Structure 1
């Protein structure tokens, strides 16, 4: 083996090793693999009502997104959508799952899942997006109501990112009022992951383009009372031929029992197509 070839192999191994591998918080059950990606400042607890519904017929894996839970937060990362996707893709390859998976993402996790399905289709057989905060570019919004809502979201997100202590303090209070523990965690430890993911993966998103590029079936599940969704965004992707939208009356942004049941039905339908 020449010195030059050895150097190239060593460099390739170093780059592969340097890619972060995400922590696996849940790995239960047997059968077709379902991979769960939580939302911003959250954890696998998001899926507390969903995992028991899937486990009897599937292998269910929940990953902590980059910078959240027990996953690493490399100091050099900007927490862009592509960095989140790269970490998920690397982790799936390391798991050697033997084929494409049913990829389920909630909120930010839905945006990450859509980009992964668009850019690395061999890893995904079915994309399920729960409560996806899809925000079209301001210039693409024709309704004055949608324009006003988008301006309000932008101001709110900018304020949260610019007022660290306020955000941490109020997130802590809100977390105590939510139905499951661990579904909202904004702390000193994950602040950079939170603020940069909000800016670089949610506010600066291309999810509509990503979903349009996905070739596998896409199901979108959302609650009728979700305050973080822009109806125009759901309408745009809902018009795409590979996308089926499921509206859950009375549901909000939290993945409660009603939405969990709707998601489980979608995943089970995927399995029924294979039988």
Structure 2
């Protein structure tokens, strides 16, 4: 599969491209999975070890125990996962959309395990109280999936993630094909986490070098949200804010070369 090797560890399925260099860990968004990063792979340094997990409840990964998990629950799952697949090794961490909430929560708690963090098309979260009423956006996601089924759900949503979808049918098809594989209860857990997410709170606590990347034409997590996330970072560790032109929310699928060029792939020494 385009250089990927599939594996499972501790109930988490993942894809790995082996390498002898630094480790880059990729966290996908709510309507995606590990394989969505395939277009990015050829644009990354050949010696980089690349690991893309399927979040709990996605693909063959076991769902979390909590019906309404928060970002910290996914961060704990990531902590155990990294202890198994990259023990003792500080990693470069990249979270896209909902994955940015997971990555920021993990990096805030485990600074020693992260040499660099990238928040790509970051979802800020809706800030709702855990266990209460869902935000309207999260509830609509669940209602649509249950009513339409995964295939129709993906067909209805995919084009919105792509800039000028009428001119990029191949990218739309990539997005649709991965989104069509979402399922319950994993997607429901992720939607509830999104509803209670507070990325800006975690961003203020980060003590790792952090960059932010967003598509200039992103309609799902618009550039204004990325600017807010970037501004919340502590100034000494605040890295680049990159707006990729002619790219939507599916940024690493629509503009993989530009996305790869914007990444900081020289890990800095981790400190406790």
TM-score, with structure 1 as normaliser? 0.76
Task: Select the structure that is richer in helix.
Answer: 1
Q: Size of the alignment, in residue pairs?
A: 238
1:168 to 147, 150, 161: 150
Structure 1 residue 159 and structure 2 residue 149: aligned? no
- 1:159-210 deviation line (CA, Å, top 9, x unaligned): 22234123635324245962426431355xx2221122112x2121121011
Structure 1 residue 180 and structure 2 residue 170: aligned? no
Structure 1 residue 28 and structure 2 residue 18: aligned? yes
Residues 63, 257 of structure 1: CA spacing in aligned structure 2 closer, same or farther, 3 A cutoff?
closer
Q: How far apart in 2 are the matches of 1:89 and 1:166?
A: 35
Q: How far apart in 2 are the matches of 1:97 and 1:259?
A: 32
1:223 to 215, 219, 241: 215
User: How far apart are 1:137 and its partner, in Å?
Assistant: 5.2
SS in 1 for 2:212: strand
Residues 160, 135 of structure 1: CA spacing in aligned structure 2 closer, same or farther, 3 A cutoff?
closer
User: How far apart are 1:154 and its partner, in Å?
Assistant: 4.6
Contact persistence 1:21–1:87 (CA under 8 A): no
Q: How far apart in 2 are the matches of 1:85 and 1:161?
A: 23
Counterpart of 2:197 in structure 1 is 205
Residues 169, 23 of structure 1: CA spacing in aligned structure 2 closer, same or farther, 3 A cutoff?
closer
Q: Moved runs in structure 1, 4+ residues, more than 6 A?
A: none
Unaligned runs of 5+ in 1: 1-18, 139-152
Residues 73, 248 of structure 1: CA spacing in aligned structure 2 closer, same or farther, 3 A cutoff?
same
2:35 to 45, 51, 64: 45
User: How far apart are 1:75 and its partner, in Å?
Assistant: 5.1
Give the alignment of 1:63-212 within 5 angstroms: 63-74=53-64, 76-135=66-125, 154-163=135-144, 164-166=146-148, 168-174=150-156, 178-180=172-174, 182-187=177-182, 190-199=183-192, 201-212=193-204
User: How far apart are 1:251 and its partner, in Å?
Assistant: 0.6
SS in 1 for 2:203: helix
User: How far apart are 1:80 and its partner, in Å?
Assistant: 2.6
TM-score, with structure 2 as normaliser? 0.77
RMSD over aligned CA atoms reads 2.8
SS in 2 for 1:105: strand
Structure 1 residue 260 and structure 2 residue 260: aligned? no
SS in 2 for 1:228: coil
User: How far apart are 1:71 and its partner, in Å?
Assistant: 0.8
Contact persistence 1:167–1:186 (CA under 8 A): no
- 1:247-274 deviation line (CA, Å, top 9, x unaligned): 001110113456433442344x442878
Q: How far apart in 2 are the matches of 1:168 and 1:133?
A: 22
Q: How far apart in 1 are the matches of 2:118 and 2:217?
A: 19
- 1:184-243 deviation line (CA, Å, top 9, x unaligned): 1355xx2221122112x2121121011111111111111011111144432222223233
Question: Rg bigger for which structure?
Answer: 1
Q: Which has the larger displacement, 258-267 or 77-86?
A: 258-267
Q: How far apart in 2 are the matches of 1:184 and 1:53?
A: 23
Structure 1 residue 233 and structure 2 residue 249: aligned? no
